[in-house]
Amino acid sequence: MTAEQTRRIAYQGEPGANSHIVCKEHYPAMEALACASFEDVFAAVESGEADLAMIPIDNSIAGRVADIHHFLPDSGLHIVAEHFLRIRFSLMAVPGTSLEEIKTVHSHVHALGQCRKIIREHGLRPIISGDTAGAAREVAEAGDRTQAAISPPLAAEIYGLEVLADDVEDEDHNTTRFVVLSREYVEARPGNGPVVTSFIFNVRNLPAALYKALGGFATNGVNMTKLESYMVGGHFTATQFLAEVDGHPEDIGVRNALEELAFFTTDVKILGVYPADDFRA
C-alpha cells in the first residue's frame, strides 16, 4: 500500500507530535489527521474517515505503549507496515526568550522523564501536559517568557517557538516503533525480503500450555521477537498473548509452528504480515 493510493492517515496527538513526524516522513502525500486519543484514531479508520492509522507500539526506554492492546485485537484493523523513529526533543520557548528566564518546562510525562538532565541542570519545574506537541502549543498561546516546552522540533516550526537547545533527551538510543493499521488486509509477499508476522492467541487451560504452545517455534527454528501477556475480561486466569515472529506464514518453519500453536491455544488471530523495517537490520 502506497501513499498515492490513500488520502488520510490518522495519528494520536496534536500537530507536531512524533506520530505526526512519522506520518510526514513515510506518507508525505497523505493528509495527516490529528486525533485526541488512540480510541479516536481507531474509530477514524474503522469509519472510513481515515485510510490508515499510525500507532506507536513500543519505545526503547518506556517499553510498550499502554492502551494499544485494548483496541488492537477487536478493532478489525490489520497491521500493514512498521516504522521506527529516533525520538528527538528540543527545548523551545517564545521567540527572544533566554534560558536564564525560564522557570517551568511543559511536556508529556514520558518526555519529562526522558529529559531529566537538562531540567535538573537549569533548575526547571516540570509541568505535565497531555501531549508533547500540545505543550508547545500551550507555551506559544501563553506567551510567557518563563515557560518552555520539551517537544519534537516540528512543533517549534508549527507553533512559532524558538529552539533554545536541540537533542535534550538523556539517551541517544531513544526510539519508538510504530505500526500502520488499515481496514484492508494487505499481506507482504513471501520470498521478497524480511517479513514480520504479528498474531494474538489465548492459551488453553492445560498444564504447561504456554510452554507447549511456544515449543513449535523453537523446534522449527523460528525467531520470536515479541511475547506480551494481557489479562482478558478482568480475569486473572484468562490470559491473551501478543506475539511477533520473523518470517512469513507460508515459510515452512512458521507454518509448522503456527499449526503446533493451534493445538494448545484458542482464538489464534493473525494481525498482520508485513515487511520488516530496515531499522531491524
Active site residues: 176, 178
* Cell numbers placing 280: 531491524
Q: Residue 123 burial (CB < 10 Å; 0-12/13-18/19+)? A: exposed
Please give the angle made by the CA atoms of 27, 33 and 37, to the nearest 5 degrees: 120
What is the rounded CA–CA span in Å between residue 254 and residue 246? 8
137-163 core/surface letters (b: 16 or more CB in 10 A; e: else): bbbbeeebbebbbbbbbbbbebbebee
Calculate the alpha carbon distances from 44 to 2, 27, 158, 229 in Å: 19, 17, 24, 27
Amino acid identity, position 46: E
Question: What are the C-alpha distances in Å from 35 to residues 12, 157, 206, 226?
Answer: 5, 20, 42, 28
Query: Which uninterrupted H or E stretch holds 69?
Result: helix 68-71
Angle at 65 between CA 64 and CA 68, to 5 degrees: 115
**Which cell numbers hold the place of 1?**
500500500
Q: How many residues does the chain have?
A: 281
Task: Judge whether 79 and 180 are in contact, CB under 8 Å.
Answer: yes
The H-assigned helical ranges of 114-202 are: 116-121, 132-142, 153-159
